[in-house]
Amino acid sequence: MSQFAINLIFVGGSFALYIAIAIWARAGSTKEFYVAGGGVNPVMNGMATAADWMSAASFISMAGLIAAGGYANSTFLMGWTGGYVLLAMLLAPYLRKFGKFTVPEFIGDRFYSKNARLVAVACLIIASVTYVIGQMTGAGVAFSRFLEVESDTGLIIAAVIVFLYAVMGGMKGITYTQVAQYVVLIIAYTIPAVFISLQLTGNPLPPLGLFSEHTASGMPLLQKLDLVVRDLGFTDYTADVSNKLNMVLFTLSLMIGTAGLPHVIIRFFTVPKVSDARWSAGWALVFIALLYLTAPAVASMARLNLLNTIYPAGPTADAIQYAERPDWIKNWEQTGLIKFDDKNSDGRIQLYNDKSESFKQTATERGWNGNELTVNNDILVLANPEIANLPGWVIGLIAAGGLAAALSTAAGLLLAISSAVSHDLIKGSINPQITEKGELRAARISMAVAIVVATWLGMNPPGFAAQTVALAFGIAAASIFPALMMGIFSKRVNNKGAIAGMLAGLIATVTYIFLYLGFLFIPGTNMFDNVQANWLFGSFGYGISPLSFGAVGAMINFIVAFAVSSATEQPPQHIQELVESVRYPKGAGAATDH
C-alpha cells in the first residue's frame, strides 16, 4: 500500500469520526452552542481543554522552533506552560463563579458598561483572529504534505472540515470532538518520539532520552548536537541567551497572554460547578504535560537527524549529492516548504549558517557560496518519522495528529469569535430582543464568516505558526488579561479605567507589532526591518521584539487603568460587593445568559 493511501486512511478516518461526533452532538440551543449545556465531566473537559490548548503551534511548530533555536526558543515551552498554571489558579474558578457565557460579558457586567463589553469584543476578535491564522497555517502545512496538494489548497480543505463540525455542533460538538482529537494527537506525537528516542539513544522514554547517551557516538545526545551545529557555524544548541530582557518579557508575554485567551477560558464555563472547573484545570495540565515533556526531546532529535541526513559522514565531511537526496526531501520539496539552491554548482547540499561572520572563512575554504537548503521550521515534527525511516503507518498517524491539533484549536477560537459577535455584539448591543433561534443562526453565520477570513489570512501569515500564535498571545496579554485580573481582584478599578487601560494596551501593542510586521501583517507595509538593532532599546543590546511587547502592553494597561480609576469616581457599591463575592468561589450555578 502506498504512503498516500495510508495517509488517506488515517486522515479520512479521523475526519469521519469528528464529523460523526458533531452530528451526534449537534447544538439545539444557545446554551449548548456556547457552553455545551454546562454539564461536561471534568476529566473529559480537561482532555478537551488540552486539545483546545495544544494547537498547531504546540504540535507542529513549537518543536520546530526549539530545534532551530535550541535553548533560546525554550521560552515558548516555559511561557505556555506557566501561563496555563496562571490561568488555572488566578482566573478559571473566579470566572466560573461569575457564571456568564463569554469573557466580554464578564467585562461588560463587572465594569457596568456596554462600551467596556464592546472594547473587550474588539480585543477578543483581534487576538483570536491572529491566533487562528497560526492554526490555519499549520493545517495547510500538514494537508499540503500528507494529501500531496499545494499549501493553499490544503488550507481550504482544513477550513471546510472545521466548518462542517464547528458550525453544526458549537461548543457541544467541539467539546466531544476535541476529546477524540486529543487521543489522536497525543498518540501521534508520542509514538514517533518513542521510536526515534530508541533509535538514537536506546531509551524508550523521550524526555529521558534527551539526557541519555547518543548510541552512535558514545557521547551525551546534547553534547553531540552542540558539536554538530558548531561545526556548521551555528550557535551551540544549549547556548545561553545574551538578551535576557527580551527573553523574560517574551516568556511573561506568553504566560499572561495564555491566561487571557478567551477560547480556553470559555471551557471552564462548560462544567457544572466551580470545583469541577478546578479539577478540569488540573486534568488539563496532566494531559498537556504528556506532550510538553516530550517536545524538547523531539526537537533535539529532529535537528540531529536532519543534519545527519545532509552530512552522513559528519559535518566536516562532504554533504550528500542532491541527486541522491532521500525521498522525504523530495516529498517536502513538492510542498514548497523545503527549497534547494545550488549556489556553488557542485551538486551537493550545503546546509550551514551563512550569516555567521566567524564561519565565513571556513565556508570559503570548503568552496561554499551560501546556505543551499531552506527548511521551514513548521515541517520538522511532521517530517521526523520520514527522516528517521519509520514505518508508513507512523507517518499516517502523525498526519492525523498534526491535523487534529490544528483543527481542535481553530474550532475553539472560531467559537470564541462567533460568541463575541452573536452574543456580545448582536444580542448585547445591537438587538437585545433577538430570539434564541435568531441568536443561534447569527452565531453560525458569524463563525462561517470568521472561517473565511481566517483562511484568507492563513494564506499570507506573518510568520511560522508558533510565531503568529505568539503575536496573538501578546495582544491578549496587553488587552484582556489585565482587565480580567483587575475585574476579579480590584474593587477600585471602574468602567472608565478599564476601557482606557484596554485601549491603551491594545493600541500600543498592535502599533508596535505593525511597525515591524506590516499593517494587518500585509507584506511590505512595515516601517522598520524586524531586527534587534531596530527594536525598542535595540541600540543598547536589549531590544524588545514585537513578539515580546505584549508584556509591556499589559504594564501600560494596568498603569493607565489604575491612574484613570484613581482620578474618577469609585465603582457603585453593588459592583464592589460583586467583586467581593466572586473572590469566594462557592455556590456558583450554571453559566447563564443574564
- 6: phi then psi, degrees, rounded to nearest 5: -65, -45
Cell of 59: 504540535
How far is 410 from 404, CA to CA, in rounded Å?
10
Q: pLDDT for 231-254, tens place per residue?
A: 999 999 999 888 889 999 999 998
- 580: phi then psi, degrees, rounded to nearest 5: -60, -40
Q: What is the pLDDT of residue 370?
A: 93
Q: Which residues of 319-354 are buried (b: 16+ CB within 10 A; e: fewer)?
A: bbeeeebeebbebbeebebbeeeeeeebebbbbbbb
Taking 70 as the threshold, does the pLDDT of residue 56 lie above it?
no
Q: Mean pLDDT for the chain?
A: 84
Q: Which residues contact 342 (CB under 8 A, 6 or more apart)?
A: 322, 348, 372
How far is 173 from 283, CA to CA, in rounded Å?
20
- 414: phi then psi, degrees, rounded to nearest 5: -65, -35
Confidence category of residue 463, pLDDT binned at 50, 70, 90: low
DSSP symbols for 91-109: IHHHHHHHTBSSHHHHHHH
Taking 90 as the threshold, does the pLDDT of residue 20 lie above it?
no
72 vs 133: which has the higher pLDDT:
72
Q: Are 296 and 56 in contact (CB under 8 A)?
A: no
Q: What is the pLDDT of residue 324?
A: 93
Q: Are 191 and 476 in contact (CB under 8 A)?
A: no
- Cα distances (Å, whole numbers) of residue 166 to 30, 51, 92, 179, 413: 14, 14, 24, 14, 10
Q: What is the pTM of this model?
A: 0.80
- 340: phi then psi, degrees, rounded to nearest 5: -120, 135
Q: Are 498 and 111 in contact (CB under 8 A)?
A: yes
Closest residue by Cα to residue 255 from 509, 84, 49, 487: 84
DSSP helix, strand, coil percent of the chain (3-state; round to 5): 70, 0, 25
Taking 70 as the threshold, does the pLDDT of residue 36 lie above it?
no
Closest residue by Cα to residue 50 from 246, 289, 345: 289
Q: pLDDT for 367-391, tens place per residue?
A: 999 999 998 887 887 888 888 888 8
Q: What is the pLDDT of residue 591?
A: 45
Closest residue by Cα to residue 196 from 400, 387, 427, 475: 387
The percent of residues above 90 in pLDDT, for the chain, comes to 34
Number of H helices, E strands in the chain: 25, 2
